[in-house]
């Protein structure tokens, strides 16, 4: 049976209902929430602040530290709290996706801490996290080149789809499922591209093209959320 | 909704978002929070767009305080060692007040002059990559003896001071309080009684909350007149 209709009835190039909000945590220097349907991520930014331990200080540039954490109630089966191999990897990948746009040279010897918390997870958590973190960094008044938007593109059987959900990630019929989280800057540069599964080169090109289009939509939403913050 | 409506009436400024084009054309000069990319001037910070003449800049609305030489700040003494005092000025760098800044001779312990926890008005003398040097050798600088301290967002300090000090002068005159505004967002208020001090504090919080409104000085004047009745 080929994959002709998505589990939740969306079109193949349609993402879930998105929501973005800036300034959700009052005590932080910057904060934002981003949601893809059931996936909710909150990002909190502290800093630039003095770097500790001191031997990690860099007199040429600041450091960006991302911490990704899935809360224990975010998934159907309780997740053991605390960092694990997966969260460490996603934190590192988020750091790489964002550090190319943050102007760290203006903050020597300092560190910017980004904490991403997943309140509810249904696939694409790292994309929601990157989207939220990018807005939170901007709202913290940190100098950056542009915003970053991320989306997950998948190949389910032979169809390329936007914004996967858990059921699609676990699809096994036909050619199976391929999950590709990707992040783009506003100018269209790729800052994150991961691939979990198998895909043909020409399909990959197509997927990146579709991802870019989906990210444009996300970018508009991020912009709207930032503008709205000031109306408060 | 109601708030949104009143906002539109009050002549709001455009908001710049990192990576967005502010203006096109080579006539403009990129200022703080912006960069040039060919013909375009792009924002690099999140804040209000300010175009005055040819200069385009972004007035940031959030973010921590970054010390600059010449800034008058209010700091707290963290530690006293044999060569000076370590201060906390709400900046991401450690700041130091050397003992040579002390106007008189100190015998023995440095905490005799400035104890740990004291609030001091000081001026940023020098910003080095590893830290900030402070001075208290000018008039109006030195230890704060009484009064109250409030903390605001350091980006709102220019609003609290107002154009050529108009806002702060009015607050001082209306409340008969002595007010020192540090560039790092620490404000010291001292009056003859607590009621005056609290009034000054409320006025400053009002200014911070309404900081985006044009013609704010008149609004604060109205606010004070309203309170008198």
Model ipTM?
0.88
Given this model, what pLDDT does residue A76 score?
95
A108-132 per-position pLDDT tens digit: 999 999 999 999 999 999 999 999 9
The helix (run of H) or strand (run of E) holding residue B121 is strand B119-128
Given this model, what pLDDT does residue B26 score?
85
Looking at per-residue pLDDT, the higher value among B108 and A55 belongs to A55
Given this model, what pLDDT does residue A230 score?
62
Best residue in A113, A141, A149, A189 to probe B by mutation, most B CBs within 10 Å? A141
- Check CB contact under 8 Å for A139 and B19: no
DSSP β-ladder status, B47-52 and B15-16:
antiparallel
What is the pLDDT confidence band of residue B152, given thresholds at 50, 70 and 90? very high
Q: Would you say residue A18 has pLDDT above 60?
A: yes
Closest CB from B4, B17, B129 relative to A223:
B17
Q: Which residues of B touch A223 (CB under 8 A)?
A: 17, 20
| Dist CA B104 CA A39 (whole Å) | 63
- Check CB contact under 8 Å for B19 and A145: yes
What is the pLDDT confidence band of residue B8, given thresholds at 50, 70 and 90? very low
Q: Would you say residue A232 has pLDDT above 60?
A: no
Rounded to a whole number, what is the distance in Å from the CA of B48 to chain A's nearest CA? 9
Report chain B's mean pLDDT, rounded to a whole number.
88
Best residue in A143, A227, A229, A232 to probe B by mutation, most B CBs within 10 Å? A143
Strand partners, B221: none
E strands along chain A, which residues?
18-22, 30-36, 39-50, 63-70, 110-120, 148-156, 159-162, 177-185, 190-193
Q: How far is C-alpha A158 from the geometric centre of its chain's CA atoms?
A: 25
Q: Where are the domains of chain A?
A: 18-229
What is the pLDDT confidence band of residue A229, given thresholds at 50, 70 and 90? confident
Contacts A–B by Cβ distance under 8 A: 83
Q: Which residues of A74-94 are buried (b: 16+ CB within 10 A; e: fewer)?
A: beeeebeeeeeeebeebbebb
DSSP β-ladder status, A110-120 and A39-50:
antiparallel
Instruction: Tell whether the torsion through CA atoms of A164, A167, A170 and A173 is positive or negative.
Output: negative
Q: What is the largest CA-CA distance in chain A?
A: 59
A186-227 per-position pLDDT tens digit: 999 999 999 999 999 999 999 999 999 999 999 999 999 999
Q: Would you say residue B12 has pLDDT above 50?
A: yes
- Check CB contact under 8 Å for B45 and A143: yes
Q: How far is C-alpha B12 from the geometric centre of its chain's CA atoms?
A: 22
Residue of chain A whose Cα is closest to the Cα of B13: A230
φ/ψ of residue A153, rounded to 5: -110, 140
Q: Would you say residue B1 has pLDDT above 60?
A: no
Rounded to a whole number, what is the distance in Å from the CA of B43 to chain A's nearest CA? 8
CA-based nearest residue to B198, from B178, B220, B175, B169: B175
Q: Which three-class secondary structure state does DSSP give residue B88? A: strand
Q: What are the strands of the beta sheet with B148-151, ordered from one edge?
A: B148-151, B186-190, B178-181
Given this model, what pLDDT does residue B4 score?
42
Q: What are the strands of the beta sheet with B55-60, ordered from one edge?
A: B15-16, B47-52, B55-60, B29-30
Mean pLDDT (whole number) for B164-192:
93
| Dist CA B128 CA B190 (whole Å) | 33
Q: Which residues of A touch B212 (CB under 8 A)?
A: 230
Q: Residue A24 burial by CB count (10 A; 0-12/13-18/19+): exposed, middle or buried?
A: middle
Given this model, what pLDDT does residue B101 score?
87
Residue of chain A whose Cα is closest to the Cα of B67: A107
Q: How far is C-alpha A6 from the geometric centre of its chain's CA atoms?
A: 23
The helix (run of H) or strand (run of E) holding residue B134 is strand B131-135
Instruction: Give the lowest-confidence range in A1-5, A67-71, B42-46.
Output: A1-5
CATH number of A18-229: 3.30.230.70
φ/ψ of residue A55, rounded to 5: -70, -10
Q: Would you say residue A73 has pLDDT above 90?
A: yes
B199-217 per-position pLDDT tens digit: 999 999 999 988 777 788 8
| Dist CA B10 CA B215 (whole Å) | 9
Closest CB from A29, A49, A138 relative to B18:
A138
Question: For chain B, which domains are there?
Answer: 2-60 (2.40.50.100), 72-143 (2.40.50.140), 148-228 (3.30.1370.10)
Given this model, what pLDDT does residue A224 score?
94
B46-58 per-position pLDDT tens digit: 998 988 889 999 9
E strands along A84-199, which residues?
110-120, 148-156, 159-162, 177-185, 190-193
């Amino acid at each position: 049976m080929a994959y002709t209709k998505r589990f939740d009835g969306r079109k193949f190039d349609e993402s879930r209902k998105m929501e973005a909000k800036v300034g959700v945590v009052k005590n932080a220097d910057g904060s934002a929430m981003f949601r893809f349907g059931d996936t909710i991520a909150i990002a909190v930014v502290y800093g630039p602040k003095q770097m500790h331990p001191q031997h990690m200080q860099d007199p040429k540039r600041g450091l960006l530290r991302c911490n990704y954490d899935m809360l224990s109630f975010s998934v159907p089966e309780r997740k053991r709290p605390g960092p694990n191999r997966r969260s460490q990897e996603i934190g590192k990948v988020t750091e790489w996706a964002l550090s190319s746009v943050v102007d760290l040279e203006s903050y020597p010897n300092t560190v910017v801490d980004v904490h991403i918390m997943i309140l509810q997870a249904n696939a694409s958590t790292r994309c929601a996290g990157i989207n939220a973190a990018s807005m939170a960094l901007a709202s913290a008044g940190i100098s950056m080149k542009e915003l970053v938007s991320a989306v997950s593109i998948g190949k389910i059987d032979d169809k390329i789809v936007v914004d996967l959900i858990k059921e699609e990630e676990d699809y096994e019929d036909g050619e199976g499922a391929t999950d590709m989280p990707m992040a783009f800057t506003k100018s269209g540069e790729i800052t994150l591209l991961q691939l979990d599964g198998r895909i043909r080169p020409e399909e990959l090109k197509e997927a990146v093209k579709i991802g870019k289009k989906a990210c444009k939509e996300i970018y508009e939403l991020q912009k709207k959320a930032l503008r709205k913050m000031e109306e408060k | 909704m109601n708030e949104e409506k009143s906002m539109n009436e009050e002549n709001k400024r455009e908001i710049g978002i990192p990576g967005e084009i502010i203006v096109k054309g080579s006539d403009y000069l990129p200022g703080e929070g912006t960069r040039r990319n060919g013909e375009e001037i792009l924002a690099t910070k999140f804040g209000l767009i300010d175009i005055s003449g040819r200069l385009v800049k972004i007035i940031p609305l959030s973010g921590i305080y970054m010390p600059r030489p010449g800034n008058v700040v209010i700091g707290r003494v963290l530690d006293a060692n044999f060569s000076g005092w370590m201060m906390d000025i709400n900046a991401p760098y450690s700041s130091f007040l050397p003992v040579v800044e002390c106007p008189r001779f100190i015998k023995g312990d440095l905490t005799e002059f400035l104890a740990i926890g004291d609030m001091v008005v000081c001026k940023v003398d020098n910003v080095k990559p590893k830290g900030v040097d402070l001075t208290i050798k000018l008039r109006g600088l030195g230890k704060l003896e009484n009064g109250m301290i409030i903390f605001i967002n350091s980006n709102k300090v220019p609003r609290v001071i107002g154009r050529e000090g108009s806002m702060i002068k009015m607050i001082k005159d209306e409340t008969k309080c002595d007010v020192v505004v540090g560039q790092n967002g620490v404000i010291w208020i001292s009056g003859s009684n607590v009621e005056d001090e609290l009034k000054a504090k409320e006025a400053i919080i009002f200014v911070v909350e309404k900081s985006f409104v044009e013609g704010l000085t008149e609004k604060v004047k109205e606010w004070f007149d309203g309170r008198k009745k």
